[in-house]
Copies of this chain bind each other. A is one copy, B any other.
């Protein structure tokens, strides 16, 4: 079976890091363990530059036909003065919504070899391995009504709507419980049920879905406490599930606990397991084009792609093992470099992973 993969290099360091990830995919196609058809398209600033839109129609067509999508990164200072609907990140929001990629899986894993990069004490984060399941196509990101209106007194007010329906909560809860079943069977649902009606419904529906997963130990936590607990004792968590906005905040905090956001991949899935895979770091315009960026988060995104969309868990694992091996050998890009290691560029790092495979 040949899988269709759409590659969206995007902006800044996007093209460089994606190129290394493709090298890794090519290892599997060359050895015959994988058959893929690859297409390339534009997104973000690259989409705007080439086709006048951060999510061009041509990209949309290819995206809808793909089994999985690999994305580099979007954004750059040259786009800061564009009208909001034309800015790079709107391309990202558009493709998420268009393909209904409602389940964003964001692991925060501390690689032993990089433990010292964390700003937290070693004992607090050693072996950290948590998974945040963030709802990605609903909530306040997409809720209506939204806008800026002039009030009767001539002053303006801005407003957005946080809204979740039962089916939206139900489906993300299921992904979270399924994820927990494959891990340590503990799920913490994060909300603000002491203040928000949305959260009351969220909690009720998560509880209800939980009845179907008696093996999973379910807990609930208010979002402010969750932010605290991530700093205080992150290893208490196995899987966390939450809304789009809370997930945006908490997953970035969780990622930073590891100290190496250049290492962290993500997956955004829809109901038919088509997925968009991307590193969680940004487009790093300051080092773009220098061959200095860390491609490992993108390479690890390929591992997630293989696992979740192509059902090739064993290939995913081979990538993950190879990355650990490369790290254990002391090979480092600048962002994760420490004394005594060997500093390499983007392509050398990609080659090192290929060699380790």
- A residues sitting closer than 8 Å to B (CB atoms) are 84, 87, 89, 93, 119-121, 124, 140-141, 143, 146-148, 151, 155-167, 192, 194-202, 223-225, 227-233, 245-246, 248-253, 255-257, 259, 261
Contact among B161, B197, B231 for A231, CB-based, below 8 A: B231
Structural contact, A224 and B252, CB atoms closer than 8 A = yes
Number of copies of chain A assembled together: 2
A231 cross-chain contacts in B, Cβ below 8 A:
119-120, 231, 253, 256-257
A157 cross-chain contacts in B, Cβ below 8 A:
163-166, 201
Question: In the complex, given contacts A161-B161, A224-B251, A232-B256, what are 14 additional A-B residue pairs having Cβ atoms less than 8 angstroms apart?
Answer: A89-B195, A140-B195, A140-B196, A155-B165, A156-B201, A157-B166, A158-B196, A158-B198, A159-B164, A160-B162, A160-B198, A227-B252, A227-B253, A228-B256
Instruction: Enumerate the 4 nearest inter-chain pairs by beta-carbon distance, A residue then B residue, closest first.
Output: A158-B201, A158-B198, A227-B253, A157-B165
A89 cross-chain contacts in B, Cβ below 8 A:
194-195
Given known contacts A156-B166, A162-B159, A163-B158, A195 and B93 CB-to-CB distance under 8 angstroms = yes
Distance between Cα atoms of A167 and B250 in the complex (Å): 30
Distance between Cα atoms of A156 and B163 in the complex (Å): 11
Structural contact, A159 and B147, CB atoms closer than 8 A = no
Distance between Cα atoms of A93 and B202 in the complex (Å): 21
Structural contact, A146 and B256, CB atoms closer than 8 A = no
- Jot down 22 A-B pairs with beta carbons below 8 A, ordered by A: A84-B194, A87-B194, A89-B194, A119-B124, A120-B120, A140-B140, A140-B195, A155-B166, A157-B164, A158-B200, A159-B162, A159-B198, A160-B162, A160-B198, A161-B162, A224-B248, A225-B252, A227-B227, A227-B250, A228-B253, A228-B256, A246-B249
In chain B, what residue has the closest Cβ to A255? B228
Nearest CB of chain B from residue A87's CB, rounded to whole Å: 7
A228 cross-chain contacts in B, Cβ below 8 A:
252-253, 255-256, 261
Most buried by B among A84, A161, A250, A257: A161
Contact among B141, B159, B163, B202 for A143, CB-based, below 8 A: B159
In chain B, what residue has the closest Cβ to A138? B157
A164 cross-chain contacts in B, Cβ below 8 A:
157-159
A159 cross-chain contacts in B, Cβ below 8 A:
143, 161-164, 197-198
A147 cross-chain contacts in B, Cβ below 8 A:
197
A251 cross-chain contacts in B, Cβ below 8 A:
224
Structural contact, B161 and A165, CB atoms closer than 8 A = no
A202 cross-chain contacts in B, Cβ below 8 A:
158
Distance between Cα atoms of A347 and B311 in the complex (Å): 62
In chain B, what residue has the closest Cβ to A164? B158
Nearest CB of chain B from residue A80's CB, rounded to whole Å: 10
